[in-house]
């Protein structure tokens, strides 16, 4: 693990707790997907937690964030309430969207989390526009846009890179490169030297780092974010990582070479952060407690979700639009 | 009152709203020097600066996406698409993001933006620059659809669209840019969205229409009046929501309805109006609701072919006479 | 005859056409290993190679654009969009290029391609993965629109779509992937496009529908039959061209028409059918044409809310009874 | 001018004649636009002729080409019949599209010219697909896709670059960099070092050359095209040039610095090719004759266009589709 003066163990331990919370959330989301309690799809962030946590540790509450389909981790890291998120996955009252959005549309505007997204790369163009609003409103916020390595091949993302640089917008693009897009090894459909080279061709400074190294993500994010906040324009971070699970909860990832996922466990971010904390003198029992605490919290939220009421059918007709209020259909 | 063109009136409305609310801004290609295709943005960049009248790269998806982001982050953007045909490069952003954000996020977000995308034929600009896809957006929950027909409306409705907290698809008709009319500069309030305008009153037949067909219907009505047929022409102004009260009220009186639009007839919004009126006013109808729309062909380039696509006042009058 | 699912039948039809014509190929995301969202492409890459079952980058605009180019250059591509929602990322290519190339180029070009884009609700996939925008494409000159409802049709119509020299928007319903039915493997000819299927005969009421609503209408018809109401259910199969003869013939007999679709009712294709029937069969109608479609809301995630959007056989039966 | 052994004066003189034909065509198109004989819009290629001509001189008849809104020059260079093109601009019977397409939809499939295009960058995605068809059909054709410098910022073009390289397709992308997009100086909306750098970030070899130097375009095209035909995968050429007229015929280009266009005349390609030919011993009178011949031909086509019949109204209803034949509308 990368070492740094600023990385006091206590601070890192807090981040580690966030990672544990994300991990526990994702495990529970997957289990409840299989149990039929969570419908639709669930894209787990397991194995990538250090990126969201390391970056969001360097954000202010009023900074903004946009995500993609694998958005639970980013939401929790930015400060969204995991209880409300779990209720959302269950489609219940009290969910972040009152049950109307589900896993792929988790959002918490109160902490600047402007939404996961079911359409790849659409968060990118939204982000540059939000950054223009930030400038227009003379705020000193920044916005972080997360995208997968498969998503970088969509045109709107490439347009957004150009756009961000043209207007020198306060955007941090973070490409979470887990090297796969659904069942496709992204190298096979990505020409050239990848996203860092592409970003640089737009004049956007880009760095590629080990995204499973919490301290390194933290330190790199601190630097990039301060550059952006200082008016330096957009930056791109490519964080190399590995998706420990299938594309979504019901994908067994049989397209992977045997042993690949097992081997990757060695480099997974929770284990590595844990090792570092132990080296710093955090005790085994403190770590065990933290894990148990995260799991207990999430277990409680799952129980809460089970007990939460289903939305009233009337809820289907609110939040559509003010003008031309929703017209019921034949189902009502 | 002063006389101005449809394009000038839009510019006036935009300027008034930009003066009134510093969070209103516009983004699109060639807004600065060119001032928009018809001068709708003329000199506004000089007045409001390049951060509020933003000249963009040729990146329609991002023009639309950025407007959405700008709206989510507390401003009121106007995404200028130049042609509704080009807006098809940004349909995903408009339909999957702008229209749904408020709902998907359970009311946490609002997307107060205007997607400005002119429709219609304007003399030889052919298949990729002449379409009228307004029906599509009426079919998309979350969107408001506005189609102004006069200079005064193009000011008043644009102001309403800008102040609206919902995403508004604002469809000027390119063929009307140069049309002039009276605009009351003193009356600075926006027009209400969803309220039709009765262009002329009549008792025998109701014609419902919008955009460039309003003038055509109006002149057909004059012809018909001379023949003793009294026609009520209703300019819907907004297609979503459409003013069902006004239309139903008129059809209850006349018992006959003709819907006229420039867009392709098949799958056009005339079908929606016809179906609603037929289903709910069946007992009041003296004959079937009829529609007049464009042929199901791409818009041809050659002027006589293009003219063959278009609907004339004579044809409207003839169709109207078929009711009697 | 053998029993297979809707998805398997589509795979069979595709394989047959690929065997028959070496210029048929498909392109899209995850077609190789995954074999398509429901196995519609399963193992075909192993059989036909990576040049004919092409795994692509996540670039919908180019999947569609490349299919157009491939068609212009003498092949028959199938552009797999996974969801009609994602196809919105490629609406420009489909509408401004595929649909218009033949016309704009005065007949020099043909665009024999299939834009495959499943529609419909499938249990909690929410607003951006559940839409049914078929009405849009009926409004676009140049396009054919196909909406298969059964396994046999999903083979026969896909084959027809692949052989068609026009661009075809092919809209499987995601909710039907797993539905099974009899498929006659011996009968390898495509089904004709534009010919409806009479699901069951009846004298009192005609129900016109397509895709997943066919089964719903059929079961409503059974309920109604038990009540002494004899319902004719017509599965349109193709929305453009739609089989007006079959529908008109049926309505002339029954005098009553109900159109049912899962898509949002406002601006949906039901309006087109209603308007045409009302205008041309007014004298034959014993009452107004009625429509049943979805609410004008984005599709909600939570299962009970999603269910509230959907149309059940009971609701169809109830609406049908309102005719009498 | 660049010098080369292969550049025999006779061959270059033939190319020069094509340039003159394009120039004369464009002048006539503009004049007839002003006279109201040509409707819609006309984007003139005046000042950029060396690019189309230099490239197409290295193409076979069966090679393919796609263009954008400024497509007259590409069409003539590829061998389309300028008479049929002029008839098309006039909207008459005998036009390349029978009058149904007009200036922005000029195409001549018989010479592999797959169409100009009214939507920026859509020709790019079409081109990569055509190249896939070429591979599937085991042909050894290539395809050239022209695009403007403004067009490079649209996502589909960037997707197409990636795509072409992923499948190693036989595509030559040619960016005609006239430094302006309508009224916008493209530098102001284009981040980074421009299209060559971007192409390289996708692993596509790219060269930037003086596009007004006919011999250099010819020589560079010969090299790139032989590399592509040899299976080398896609290439990109950025040809620097200058749009001598307004964006379209009715644009006076008042947004330009005073004297800029006048100064550019010195570097314009016809004049430069002419100077080279004179140096090579071609006589003044041969050049004058060539010019007069081009002008006379085009004048004849204009006259033909005036005299050609308007399409029968029935033509509006053909070429739509076979299945679901066109439905007349209220106008018929
Ligand atoms: C525009 C669009 N195309 C396709 C999809 C379907 N899809 C969902 S996730 C995914 C793979 C994404 O891969 P990547 O961007 O690497 O993110 P990861 O899942 O690896 O985190 C695909 C193809 C989509 N949601 N949106
Ligand atoms: C998708 C799309 N957006 C906008 C336009 C309008 N438009 C036509 S030409 C043009 C400028 C193009 O500039 P460039 O690509 O540099 O080509 P040039 O005109 O300089 O040859 C614009 C914005 C269009 N035709 N298509
Ligand atoms: Mg990935
Ligand atoms: Mg240019």
Q: Minimal Cα distance from C124: which residue of A?
A: A40
Among residues of chain C, what percentage have pLDDT more than 90?
A: 99
**Pocket-forming residues, ligand 2, beta carbon under 6 Å:** B 29, 58, 60, 82, 86, 89; D 43, 69-70, 118-120, 148-151, 178, 180-182, 186, 243, 247
- Average pLDDT (C9-13) is 98
From residue A253, alpha-carbon distances to A73, A250, A256, C199, C311 in Å are: 21, 9, 6, 41, 36
Instruction: Give the residue carrying structure tokens 């002149």.
Output: B219
- Average pLDDT (B84-104) is 98
**Pocket-forming residues, ligand 1, beta carbon under 6 Å:** A 43, 69-70, 118-120, 148-151, 178, 180-182, 186, 243, 247; C 29, 58, 60, 82, 86, 89
Residue among A41, A181, A19 nearest A103 (CA): A41
Ligand 1 centroid distance, CA of D187 (Å)? 33
Say which of C129, C139, C261, C280 is annotated catalytic. C129
What pLDDT does residue A331 have?
Answer: 83
Between CA B210 and CA B232 the distance in angstroms is: 14
CATH 3.40.50.920 range(s) for chain B read 197-321
pLDDT tens figures, A201-238? 999 999 999 999 999 999 999 999 999 999 999 999 99
User: Which tokens belong to C249?
Assistant: 């013939």
pLDDT tens figures, A9-19? 999 999 999 99
DSSP class of residue D108 equals: B
Residues of D in contact with C70 (CB under 8 A): 129-130, 132-133, 136
User: Which tokens belong to A207?
Assistant: 């760095």
Ligand 1 centroid distance, CA of C83 (Å)? 12
- Average pLDDT (A272-297) is 98
Ligand 3 centroid distance, CA of C11 (Å)? 28
A253 touches chain C (CB under 8 A): no
Q: Above 70 in pLDDT, residue A311?
A: yes
Which of B30, B58, B85 to mutate for ligand 2's pocket (most ligand atoms within 8 Å of CB)?
B58
From residue B201, alpha-carbon distances to B281, B283, C41 in Å are: 20, 22, 60
Between CA C218 and CA B156 the distance in angstroms is: 49
For residue A36, cis peptide bond before it (omega within 30 degrees of 0): no
Residue among D60, D80, D219, D51 nearest D146 (CA): D51
pLDDT tens figures, D251-261? 889 999 999 98
Residues in Cβ contact with A78 at an 8 Å cutoff, skipping those fewer than 6 apart: A52, A56, A59, A65, A108, A111, A112, A113
Q: Above 80 in pLDDT, residue D284?
A: yes
What pLDDT does residue A6 have?
Answer: 56
Among residues of chain A, what percentage have pLDDT more than 70?
A: 98
**Residues 120-159, chain C, touching B (beta carbon < 8 A):** 126-128, 133, 135-136, 138-142
Q: Do D125 and C62 touch (CB under 8 A)?
A: yes
What pLDDT does residue D2 have?
Answer: 53
Judge contact between B167 and B115, C-beta under 8 A.
yes
A105 touches chain C (CB under 8 A): yes
Between CA B94 and CA D81 the distance in angstroms is: 42
What pLDDT does residue D97 have?
Answer: 98
Interface test with A, best of B28, B65, B140, B147 (most A CBs within 10 A): B65
pLDDT tens figures, A4-46? 555 589 999 999 999 999 999 999 999 999 999 999 999 999 9
Q: Above 80 in pLDDT, residue C309?
A: yes
Q: Minimal Cα distance from A198: which residue of D?
A: D201
Confidence of residue D7 (pLDDT cuts 50, 70, 90): low
- Average pLDDT (C78-89) is 98
Q: Could you tell me which CATH number the domain at B2-183 has?
A: 3.40.50.970
Neighbours of chain D (3+ CB pairs under 8 A): A, B, C
Query: Of A155, A166, A192, which is closest to D155 when you measure between CB atoms?
Result: A155
Stretch (H or E) spanning C232: strand C231-235
Residues in Cβ contact with B59 at an 8 Å cutoff, skipping those fewer than 6 apart: A159, A162, A163, D153, D154, D155
Q: Do B73 and A122 touch (CB under 8 A)?
A: no
Between CA A128 and CA A285 the distance in angstroms is: 44
What pLDDT does residue D249 have?
Answer: 85
Between CA C320 and CA C217 the distance in angstroms is: 10
Residue among B26, C303, B62 nearest A160 (CA): B62
Between CA C72 and CA C276 the distance in angstroms is: 35
Q: Do B106 and A319 touch (CB under 8 A)?
A: yes
Between CA B217 and CA B200 the distance in angstroms is: 10
Between CA B57 and CA A125 the distance in angstroms is: 13
Q: Minimal Cα distance from A152: which residue of D?
A: D159
Among residues of chain B, what percentage have pLDDT more than 90?
A: 99
Rounded to the nearest 10 degrees, the angle between the axes of helix C244-254 and helix C269-280 is 60
Q: Do D155 and A153 touch (CB under 8 A)?
A: no
From residue A303, alpha-carbon distances to A196, A254, B26, B320 in Å are: 43, 32, 48, 66
Residues of B in contact with A324 (CB under 8 A): 144, 166, 193-194, 238, 240-241
CATH 3.40.50.970 range(s) for chain B read 2-183
Residue B104's Cα: distance from chain center in Å? 27
Between CA B62 and CA C268 the distance in angstroms is: 28
Between CA B201 and CA B212 the distance in angstroms is: 19
From residue A285, alpha-carbon distances to A201, A215, B303, D229, D307 in Å are: 49, 22, 83, 67, 95
What pLDDT does residue D6 have?
Answer: 55
- Average pLDDT (C1-13) is 97
Q: Do C69 and D129 touch (CB under 8 A)?
A: yes
User: Which tokens belong to A89?
Assistant: 């996955």
- Using DSSP's 3-state secondary structure scheme, residue D37 falls into coil
Instruction: Please determine, for the modelled complex, whether the ipTM score is greater than 0.85.
Output: yes
Query: Of C104, C268, C275, which is closest to B291 when you measure between CB atoms?
Result: C275
- Average pLDDT (C263-279) is 98
Q: Provide the CATH topology of domain C197-321.
A: Rossmann fold (3.40.50)
Residue among A108, A45, A54, A103 nearest A81 (CA): A108
Ligand 2 centroid distance, CA of D73 (Å)? 16
B59 touches chain C (CB under 8 A): no
- Average pLDDT (A94-117) is 98
Between CA B272 and CA B136 the distance in angstroms is: 12
**Closest residue CA from atom 22 of ligand 2:** D182
- Average pLDDT (C185-193) is 94
CA distance B130 to chain D (A): 11
A328 touches chain D (CB under 8 A): no
From residue B200, alpha-carbon distances to B206, B219, B257, B290, B324 in Å are: 10, 10, 15, 19, 20
CA distance C59 to chain B (A): 13
For residue C129, indicate whether it is catalytic: yes
Between CA B63 and CA B26 the distance in angstroms is: 10
Q: Do A192 and D198 touch (CB under 8 A)?
A: no
Q: Do B294 and D91 touch (CB under 8 A)?
A: no
Query: Average model confidence (pLDDT) for chain D?
Result: 96
Q: Do B267 and C300 touch (CB under 8 A)?
A: no
Neighbours of chain C (3+ CB pairs under 8 A): A, B, D
In terms of CATH, what superfamily is A3-183+194-250+267-306?
Thiamin diphosphate (ThDP)-binding fold, Pyr/PP domains (3.40.50.970)
């Amino acid at each position: 693990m990368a070492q740094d003066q600023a990385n006091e163990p206590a601070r890192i331990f807090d981040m580690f707790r966030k990672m544990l919370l994300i991990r526990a959330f994702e495990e529970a989301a997957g289990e409840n997907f299989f149990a039929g309690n969570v419908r639709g799809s669930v894209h787990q962030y397991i194995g990538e937690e250090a990126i969201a946590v390391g970056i969001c540790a360097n954000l202010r509450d009023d900074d903004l964030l946009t995500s993609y389909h694998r958005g639970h981790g980013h939401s929790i890291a930015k400060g969204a309430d995991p209880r409300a998120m779990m209720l959302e996955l269950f489609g219940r009252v009290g969910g972040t969207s009152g049950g109307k959005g589900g896993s792929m549309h988790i959002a918490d505007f109160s902490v600047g989390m402007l939404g996961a997204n079911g359409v790849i790369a659409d968060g990118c163009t939204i982000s540059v526009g939000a950054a223009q609003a930030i400038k227009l409103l003379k705020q000193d916020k920044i916005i972080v846009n997360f995208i997968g390595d498969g998503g970088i091949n969509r045109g709107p993302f490439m347009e957004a890179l150009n756009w961000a640089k043209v207007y020198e917008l306060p955007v941090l693009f973070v490409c979470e490169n887990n090297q796969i897009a659904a069942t496709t090894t992204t190298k096979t459909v990505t020409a050239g030297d990848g996203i860092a080279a592409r970003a640089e061709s737009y004049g956007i400074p880009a760095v590629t780092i080990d995204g499973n190294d919490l301290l390194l993500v933290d330190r790199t994010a601190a630097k990039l974010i301060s550059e952006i906040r200082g008016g330096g324009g957009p930056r791109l971070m490519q964080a190399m990582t590995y998706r420990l699970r299938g594309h979504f909860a019901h994908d067994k990832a049989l397209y992977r070479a045997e042993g690949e996922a097992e081997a990757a466990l060695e480099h997974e971010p929770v284990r590595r952060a844990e090792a570092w904390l132990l080296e710093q003198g955090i005790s085994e029992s403190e770590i065990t407690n933290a894990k148990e605490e995260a799991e207990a919290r999430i277990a409680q939220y799952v129980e809460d979700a089970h007990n939460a009421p289903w939305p009233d059918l009337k809820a289907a007709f609110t939040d559509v639009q003010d003008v031309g209020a929703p017209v019921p259909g034949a189902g009502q | 009152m002063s006389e101005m063109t449809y394009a000038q009136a839009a510019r006036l409305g935009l300027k008034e709203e930009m003066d009134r609310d510093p969070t209103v801004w516009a983004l699109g290609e060639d807004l600065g020097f060119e001032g928009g295709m018809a001068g709708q943005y003329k000199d506004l960049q000089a007045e409001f600066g390049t951060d509020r009248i933003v000249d963009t790269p040729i990146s329609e998806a991002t023009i639309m996406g950025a407007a959405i982001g700008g709206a989510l982050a507390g401003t009121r953007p106007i995404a200028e698409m130049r042609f509704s045909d080009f807006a098809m490069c940004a349909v995903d952003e408009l339909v999957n993001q702008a229209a749904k954000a408020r709902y998907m996020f359970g009311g946490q977000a609002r997307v107060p933006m205007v997607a400005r995308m002119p429709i219609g034929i304007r003399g030889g600009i052919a298949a990729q620059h002449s379409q009228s896809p307004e029906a599509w957006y009426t079919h998309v929950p979350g969107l408001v659809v506005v189609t102004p027909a006069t200079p005064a409306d193009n000011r008043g409705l644009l102001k309403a669209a800008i102040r609206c907290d919902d995403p508004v698809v604002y469809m000027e008709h390119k063929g009307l840019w140069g049309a002039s009319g009276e605009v009351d500069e003193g009356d600075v309030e926006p027009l209400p969205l969803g309220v039709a305008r009765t262009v002329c009153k009549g008792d025998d037949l109701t014609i419902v229409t919008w955009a460039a067909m309003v003038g055509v219907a109006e002149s057909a009505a004059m012809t018909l009046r001379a023949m003793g047929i009294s026609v009520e022409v209703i300019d819907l102004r907004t297609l979503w929501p459409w003013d069902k009260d006004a239309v139903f009220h008129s059809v209850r009186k006349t018992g006959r309805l003709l819907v006229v639009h420039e867009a392709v007839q098949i799958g056009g919004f005339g079908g929606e109006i016809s179906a609603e009126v037929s289903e709910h006013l069946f007992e009041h109808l003296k004959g079937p609701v009829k529609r007049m729309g464009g042929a199901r062909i791409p818009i041809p380039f050659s002027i006589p072919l293009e003219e063959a696509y278009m609907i004339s006042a004579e044809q409207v009058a003839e169709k109207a006479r078929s009711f009697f």
